[in-house]
Structure 1
Amino acid sequence: MNTIELKKILISKISEIDDNSFLEALNTILDHKTSEAEKNEYKQYNFDLLKAEEDIENGRTYSHEEVKEKVALWKKR
């Protein structure tokens, strides 16, 4: 069973549940999963910023012209 099929099954099952406390518990679980994903994205973003600052400090940069040349080469591929 793939992800799309599983989502459809879960949506169908959830739509049949009338137990409010169960639905609230499920919502808490889903909120936690979402907040964890956001935290991971935030951590990755900060890591990328630190890495970029390190690259700049160590001279690992490209001029605007160098970037334009690289883009032109990529377009030819």
Structure 2
Amino acid sequence: MTTLDLKKHLIQRISEIEDTAFLEAIKTILDSKSQILHLTAEQRAEIKQSQEQIKQGLFINQDKLDEEFEKWASEN
């Protein structure tokens, strides 16, 4: 079965479904495959600010963070 044949077959089968919950499940699957992330202006600004902080070296890597956490946890 070619991709086109498969698409036609699925369209036909989906058009016959009356179960709303099942159709919602199919929609969820399709949405997750073609998910486009929509960011607000504030989210884009925060990402840009984070990128600038990384460029300036204002970050800590996971290993160092783990060490600091272990030290903090052992003191408390």
TM-score band, normalised by the shorter chain?
Answer: 0.3 to 0.5
Query: Under a length normalisation based on structure 1, what TM-score does the superposition of the two structures give?
Result: 0.46
Higher helix residue share: 1
